[in-house]
Structure formats: structure tokens, C-alpha cells
Amino acid sequence: MKKTTFAKIFIRSFFVLAVGNYERMQNLGFLFVIAPVLKKVYPDREQRIEAYQRHLEFFNVNPYFMTIPAGIAIAMEEEKLPAKSISDMKMTLSGPLAAVGDSLIWAALRPFAAFSVIALMLITGIVRVPDGIIEVTELFNGWTFAVMSLLFLLIFNGYIMFLRYYGLKHGYEKKTGVVALIKKISDTNLVENIRRVGHYLMGITMVVVFFRDLTITPRLLFIGVFPILFFLIRKGVSVVLLFYVVVILSIVIKYL
Amino acid sequence: MFLRILWVSLIGGLINLDEHSAIQSMVCRPIIASPTIGYLLGDLNTGLVIGIMLELILFNVLPFGAAMPINFSIIAITATALAIFISESYRIPIVPSFIVWIIMCTVPLGLVFRELENMNRRFNIHLVHFAEKRILEGRFAIIEWITAVGILVSYLKAIVFIMIAIYGGLYLLPKLYLALPAKVLAGLETAYMLVFILGIAVVVSMLRVDFKRKNEKDNIR
């Protein structure tokens, strides 16, 4: 695959959910991503129609991992492998990639990246929480915001770019080795390590906020209320519902 | 005022696109979106405070699989814009009770917009069918056109929704807030601290590592 074609596919992979639909999910997005290659592989009109139609089947995967099946599909199309094997490959990979993506990206990397910005601001004192009220100090301005945002976006998107690029490259070059790649991604302790770092960062932030910013009454409130809320969230109670319950209870208590 | 609201809607619409339709770089998260809108409107600090509060309480809102979660970017954009506009127009100080009030009133917008997103996805089925027919006729460029149309529809939907939400909020929210009894305001003031604790509880529940399970694994080894 030429470098320009690779670049086109890489950029197109960012728009896989542009026409997301409930009938066949990312089907048109997948076709949009690999269309530049299908154009080259099938110069004959009828063959291209058939190839385009084939790739409008149901497809759904974590958007950051979609370059893996895209790379493999491109390699298989270039070798003119049977349509059913390409379709089976897409179906087989969708499930494990979605699972790995959900646990690695949504449940570990994104929360860690987002919280690391908040933690940094709280620990350094750019944002303080005197008596539980968020106060922005004069250390915060457009530049510190730009730096903080870049930090979050770099932590998150740095890894995502690596996943997208390497997924496409590896999928295209070593299509049969992809199962080993997925196993390698899911077997590493990456999820555990990210959550561990996030866990300790959380601990440090809580200690700093508790002892530096809170006075006696907010500390008692924190000790009393935090375990109840934490328990309810672990039990699966919706946080939005808890938000409204907490607000309404606060108002009701003032009337008692 | 109209130009500022239009500007917020145009930029907010782009931020909202990042949530589902394009790129997904997490610019749509409240911790980035709210301060960005705040910066646009000349009040970065309010944007940051609202951004932190929303990021904490919406921390575990995630698009697992095919699920469509509550739309957090719309909440972040409208909450920040309304807080700043209302505070400027009605000279209401941005105190904790005001912030809680604004967040209370804008969270339902995230739920309403989620339904709009669902409708959008159902509409997209027609776009896909249209593309399929054109492909059978050999008009292959339809793929790129339909992708562009899909993004444009999502963008326009967000712009219109944000504009309506801001104008509606500007009309309703200040009057309601100024009519609130003192005890309700005091309750909202206390609620701010509790909502912050709730946010910390959400983060801890998401980022915690189950040390007991790890120790059991070590024993098995």
C-alpha cells in the first residue's frame, strides 16, 4: 500500500461513526475508510459494486480499534481472498476488539487522563477547594488551561494515535498475526497499571484536599457522606439520580 | 448577545461532533469543553469550575458498546454559556448555589439530546439505504458525500439545539432562580459541597484497584 493511500485511510478512520445507525452501526463508516483501496483493487465497475455492497454489512467495534480489521480487510481484498473469509474476519474480530477497547480506553485510559488534569490542578494548588467550594486561584489563566488541556489530550490521544496507526500497519502487514496482537493487548497489565496509577493519584489528591483545604465541618461531612455515596455508586445507582437526590435532600434539610 | 450565542453554538456544535460523529479526541469532555466555552465568553474561571464539577459527576458516563449515554458535551456547553450569560445580564453573582442550580437545569438537556442522537441514528439508516441504491448504480462518490452529509446533519442538529437551549434558559432560569426562597438557596449552597463529594466518590469507584483480588491471585501463584 502506498504511503499516500495509508495516510488517506488513517485520516478516514477518524470518521467511522459519521453515519452511525442502529441497523448496521458503523457499516458505511467502514466502507468509507477502505474505499480508496477498493477503488484501486477493483477497477472493473461491476466488481467494485459487488465489493462495496459486501462491506455495507453490519459492523461495530470500538472506533479506536477499527483500523485493525480495516488493515486486514484491505490486505485480504488486495489478495482477492474469498468474500466470506473477509466477512468472517470482521465478525470474529469485532467482539474481542470491542471488549478490549471498552476496558482499556473507556474504563481505564480516558478516566485516568481526565482525572490526572483535575488532580494536577488540585495538588499544585492552581485550584483549591476551601470548605468544599471550588476556588480558582490566580495561578490559573489561559496559558495554564492550554497546558492542562494539552496534557489531557496528549495522554489520551498520544496512545490513540499509536493504536490507530499501529493497528492499521500491523493489520495490513501481518493479518494472521492479529489474533496474537489482540491477545498481547488484552493480556498486558496495561489496564491494571493505568488504574493503579490513577488509584494512587486519587489517594494523593484526596489527602491533599482533605488536609490542606477542608476545615473541620466539611471534613466531618466528607467522612460521613462519602462512604454512603461510594456504596450506592458501587451498587449501580445512577450518578445523575444521586445528584438530584443529594440536591433535594440538602434543600429539605434546610426546612427541617 | 445574538452573535455571542451564535458563536457558542458554532463552536459548541464542533465540540459536540467530537463526542460521536468525528475524531473522538475527548475535546467534548466537560473538563475541556466548559473552560473552552468560558474562554470564548471571557470567563475562563467559571468555565473551569463548571467543567470540574461536571467532569466529576459525569465521570462514569461512557459509550460502552452500542449504548448511547447521556450527552455530556451539551450539558457542559449549555451550563457554562447560561451561567455566564445569566450572570452578566441579570448581575447574579456566580456563587455555589447558582452553579448547582444551572447544573440541575442543564443535566436534563443531556437526556433530551440523547434522544435526538437516537433519532439521528435512525435517520442515518435512510442515508445508508440511499447510498446503497446509488452504489448499485455505480455512483461510488456517494460514500464520501453521505459521510459529509452525516457529519453536517449532526453539526446542524447540535447548533440548533444549543441555540434553543440557551435562549430558553435565558428566558426561564433567571426568573426561577431569583424567585427561589432563601432556604432553597441555602440548601443549594450545601448541595455544592455534597455534589463535589459525590464527584470524588464516582472517580474513586472508577479508578479503584481491587487489591483483595490481586492478593488472591498472588496466593494462587
b/e A221-234 (16+ beta carbons within 10 angstroms → b): bbeebbeebbebbe
C-alpha distance across the termini of chain A, in Å: 72
pLDDT score, position B9: 96
The dihedrals phi and psi of A236, each to the nearest 5 degrees, come to 100, 10
Q: Which residue has the cell 490542578?
A: A121
What own/partner pairs with CB < 8 Å and gap ≥ 24 does B84-88 have? Answer: B84/B38, B84/B41, B84/B42, B84/B43, B84/B46, B84/B47, B85/B1, B85/B4, B85/B5, B85/B41, B85/B166, B85/B170, B86/B169, B86/B170, B86/B173, B86/B174, B86/B177, B87/B43, B87/B46
Whether residue A115 lies within 8 A of chain B, CB to CB, comes out as: yes
Whether residue A240 lies within 8 A of chain B, CB to CB, comes out as: yes
- Taking residues A80-100, report their average pLDDT: 87
Contact across the interface for B195 and A110, Cβ inside 8 Å: no
Q: Tell me which residue of A113, A115, A118, A143 sits closest to A129, measured CA to CA.
A: A118
Whole-angstrom distance, CA of residue B31 vs CA of residue A244: 21
On the question of pLDDT at B145 being above 80, the answer is: yes
Q: Tell me which residue of B102, B88, B105 sits closest to B4, measured CA to CA.
A: B88
pLDDT score, position A97: 86
pLDDT in tens, B12-46: 999 999 988 888 888 999 999 999 999 999 999 99
Residues B69, B70, B73, B79, Cα dihedral to 10°: -170
Q: Tell me which residue of A43, A66, A25 sits closest to B140, measured CA to CA.
A: A43
Contact across the interface for A136 and B154, Cβ inside 8 Å: no
- Taking residues B82-103, report their average pLDDT: 93
Whether residue A146 lies within 8 A of chain B, CB to CB, comes out as: no
Q: Worst-scoring range by mean pLDDT, A70-84, B61-75, B163-177? A: B61-75
On the question of pLDDT at B218 being above 60, the answer is: no
Contact across the interface for A52 and B135, Cβ inside 8 Å: yes
Contact across the interface for B209 and A233, Cβ inside 8 Å: no
Whole-angstrom distance, CA of residue B207 vs CA of residue B60: 10
Q: What is the pTM of this model?
A: 0.90
Contact across the interface for A250 and B187, Cβ inside 8 Å: yes
Whole-angstrom distance, CA of residue A174 vs CA of residue A226: 50
CA distance A23 to chain B (A): 6
> Which grid cell sits at B193?
459541597
Whether residue B160 lies within 8 A of chain A, CB to CB, comes out as: no
Per CB-CB distance under 8 Å, the chain A contacts of B197 are 132, 221-222, 225-226, 229
Whether residue A168 lies within 8 A of chain B, CB to CB, comes out as: no
CA distance A165 to chain B (A): 14
Confidence of residue B216 (pLDDT cuts 50, 70, 90): very low
Helix axes A83-101, A178-187, angle to 10 degrees: 10
Whether residue A43 lies within 8 A of chain B, CB to CB, comes out as: no
